[in-house]
Amino acid sequence: MKVINGDFSRSKPSETDVCNKILKAVEKLEEDIGKNTQGTFILLTETEGAVTMSSDLNAEDFNYLIDTVKLNLLLTATLPE
């Protein structure tokens, strides 16, 4: 699993709207994997306390992938000392 690290930190004031942040992430993704690479996607956004999920996966595959990502992040997390 690869996590795309972008400059999306909440530690500084954000002057970019969520759509521009998503476009920036897509541009970074195109650089990393290429424009014509086949695959699936899950897009999670949080705006004003509401979470929106978009995907091209069916419910079973969506839940499996989300669980796999959560487990991977938990097992590979770097804890502060």
Write out the chain in H/E/C secondary structure: CCCCCCCCCCCCCCCCCHHHHHHHHHHHHHHHHCCCCCCCCEEEEEECCEEEEEECCCHHHHHHHHHHHHHHHHHHCCCCC
pLDDT tens string 45-67: 998 889 999 999 999 999 999 99
Q: What is the pLDDT of residue 78?
A: 74
Q: What is the pLDDT of residue 76?
A: 86
Q: What is the pLDDT of residue 43?
A: 93
Contact indicator for 47, 18 with CB cutoff of 8 Å: yes
Q: What is the pLDDT of residue 60?
A: 96
Please list the ranges in the chain whose pLDDT falls under 50: none
